[in-house]
Structure formats: C-alpha cells, structure tokens
Amino acid sequence: MNRVLGVFAVVAIIYLGLMSSDPQARSPENHQNLERRIGEWGILTLGVGFVILTGGIDLSIGSVVCLSAVSFGLILENNGPPWLAFMGVLAMGSIIGLIHGFLITRLNLQPFIVTLCGLFIYRGFAQLLTQINFGTIGAALTTGWPENARLLRDSSRNIGLAHPENLAWLTTLQKGNFPLGEWTGIVWLDIPNPLILFIVLAIAAYIALECGAFGRRIHALGYNEQAARYAGIDTASHKIACYVICSTLAALGGILFLVKVPSAAPASAGNWYELYAITGAVLGGFSLRGGEGSILGLALGTAILPLLRSLVIFAGIPSDLEFMVIGVALLLGTVADELLRRGSMSGVRRAG
C-alpha cells in the first residue's frame, strides 16, 4: 500500500507541475486528451501487467497493435462485416498469446526471446499483408488468374478505415465520452470512453487478481514458481492464460488505434507501445522479477507517461528531449524506490 501511495504522490506532483505550466494545460480539452491516452495505453499496460506478474515479459505488444490495426483495416476494406473483423482480430490476438505461452512453458524458452521474435515477426507480417493484392486473389478464385496480375505490390502501404459509417459503436467507444458531464452540467466529468473501458477492465482484473483463486496462483507462481508447482498449481496453464490476456488486450488496442487515427502505417503503427506499457506497469510497482504489483498501482503508473509527455509539451521543453526527460524521470523514480525499499527492509528475502 505504501508503494501505491508513493506512485500516487508522483502522479500528483507531475499533475500539479503540468497544471502550473500553461493555462492551456488546464483546459478540459487537454484533460480529455490525457484521459483518452491513459485509457488507450492502460489497456495495454493491464495486459502486460499479467505477464509481468508471472515473472515474464512481452516485447511484442507494439507489433501486435500494428498487426491488429492492419488486419482490422484490411478486413473492412475487403467488405468484411465489422463484428467479424472485431472478433477475428481479438481471436488472432488470443492465438498469438497462446503461441507465446506454449513456447515459453512447454519448450521452456525465455519470454524475452519469444516475444522479441514476435516483435519482428508480427510487424513484418503486417507489412506483408498490406502488400497483398486481395482483389487479385478474389478474381483468381472466381474467374481464374488475371493477366499481368501480381500477388504482391511493390511496397507496403498505409491502411485506412474503410466504411467508418458501419462502425458507429466502435467510433463511439474510441472517440465518444461518457456523458456524465452532460447530465450533471460539469464539463469536467465528460470522461472519454477509452478511459471508461480501461477502468472497467481494470476492475475486472482487480477482481481476478486480488479476490480470485486465479490471482492467488498467479502471484504465487510469479514469486516462486517451484513452490507454486509443489503446491499443486498447474503453473504452465496459468502462465499461458496470462500471455493470452496480454496479446488479446494488445489486439483490442490495435483496433482502437485504427479507429482513432484512422490510418495504420505498418512500419510505425504501435512503435514503442510495448515499452510504454512495461514502463507504466513498472512505475506502478510491478516487479520484473514477478509476483509483485497491484492493479491500483498499475492504473496510477499508467498515468505517469502521458502526464510527463504533456508536461514536456506545455513546459516548453523542446520535444526532441522528450525521450530523455522520460528516461531520466523513470530512472529517478526507480532509484528513489530502491532507496526507500532499503530504508524499510523487512527482512523477508526472496528465495532463489
């Protein structure tokens, strides 16, 4: 709990700094932008939180976001029904997580390596997908191979959002607000739907991890996998479940990405997102060694990066320095955390 209070203090300080930096920063618009961004990244952070709890890592999140955005766009472009596109992309995410989980638990590969390979493969696959002439394939299936037709284009292309008029519900989910402000007359209470979605998912995760048997087992195996195994826990399937959750949420993130932008460049869509997600979880108190972390802390930790980025903009810091500011802030936070921890050594040491 002390840790969560610490993260809260950090969030509060950055927030106050941001509010005092520029009148623009205090505007409802900026708040909504921030809240939307926190919601979008929070969904990814939540997913990687599950994986980190098991002592693993997922570096492929950004590429899964990209592949999902591209796949979703391509299905719509080829007149696939939106619900099918939506469910199909989520299913693809689950399968990706399943593959990660199997490779990690059954073949005993390291999560870092498996998901690093994923990082390359999914982005490359997304690029390949955008080069395929689906029209040619369609024609080939119905009328035979058209003359001079080629299966692949010369280069990859950006994927846009076709037929957005069919996607009212998704557009609302991404761009709409929860009209609490409208009802109450307080404009500040119009909360962007992505943040609402994140909060709902976070509550579900909280229940699963803090109240449910599932969460107990995840914490136990993350802290000491051998002891969990000796206690009769099927550690492999619990770990696989966490990778599935992570990649499925990343796929959801990819769909929201495309609806928002609304264009996905396979070379850049979702770049860095895995690192933002991991940073959010770590700032929120998740230990990369596994077994430690609370959802409340994660939710607060998720807010730090968007707030910092906004602060960089409004405080007039050259945007070229953004990454440096983020890196230094992260390092300072980690050092402070370690020093505080040493100050309050409880004597409980991690075995192994």
Q: How far is the CB of 52 from another protein (least distance, A)?
A: 16
Collapsed DSSP state (helix, strand, coil) of residue 147: coil
Give the total of residues touching another protein (CB under 8 A).
30
345 binds another protein (CB under 8 A): no
Q: How far is the CB of 105 from another protein (least distance, A)?
A: 13
Q: How far is the CB of 50 from another protein (least distance, A)?
A: 15
Q: How far is the CB of 12 from another protein (least distance, A)?
A: 28
Using CB under 8 A as the binding rule, the residues of this chain from 270 to 329 that contact another protein are: 291-292
347 binds another protein (CB under 8 A): yes
Tell me how crowded residue 61 is: count the other CB atoms within 10 A of its CB.
32
Kindly tell me the burial class for residue 143, based on how many C-beta atoms sit within 10 Å of its own C-beta (0-12, 13-18, 19 or more).
Answer: exposed
Collapsed DSSP state (helix, strand, coil) of residue 234: coil
For residue 122 the two structure tokens come to 């999914």
The span from the CA of 163 to the CA of 18, in Å, is 39
Per DSSP, what are the bridge partners of residue 177? 192
Using CB under 8 A as the binding rule, the residues of this chain from 229 to 258 that contact another protein are: 229-234
Q: How far is the CB of 217 from another protein (least distance, A)?
A: 7
Site string for another protein, 196-225 (x = CB under 8 A): -----------xx--xxxx-xx-xx--xx-
For residue 322 the two structure tokens come to 């953004």
Over 155-199, what HEC string results?
CCCCEECCCHHHHHHHHHHHHCEECHHHHHCCHHHCEEHHHHHHH
1 binds another protein (CB under 8 A): no
Q: How far is the CB of 208 from another protein (least distance, A)?
A: 8
146 binds another protein (CB under 8 A): no
Angle at 306 between CA 304 and CA 308, to 5 degrees: 65
C-beta closer to another protein: residue 76 or 104 = 104
DSSP code, position 351: P
143 binds another protein (CB under 8 A): no
C-beta closer to another protein: residue 316 or 347 = 347
Contact criterion met (CB below 8 Å) for 105 and 239: yes
226 CB-near residues (< 8 Å, 6+ apart): 352
C-beta closer to another protein: residue 125 or 214 = 214
C-beta closer to another protein: residue 208 or 313 = 208
C-beta closer to another protein: residue 138 or 212 = 212
C-beta closer to another protein: residue 224 or 302 = 224
| Residue type (1 letter), 162 | A
Q: How far is the CB of 221 from another protein (least distance, A)?
A: 9
Over 32-89, what HEC string results?
HHHHHHHHHHHHHHHHHHHHHHCCCCCCCHHHHHHHHHHHHHHHHHCCCCHHHHHHHH
Q: How far is the CB of 327 from another protein (least distance, A)?
A: 30
155 binds another protein (CB under 8 A): no
Which one among 132, 204, 227, 324 touches another protein, defined by CB under 8 A? 227
Residues binding another protein (CB under 8 A):
207-208, 211-214, 216-217, 219-220, 223-224, 226-234, 291-292, 346-352
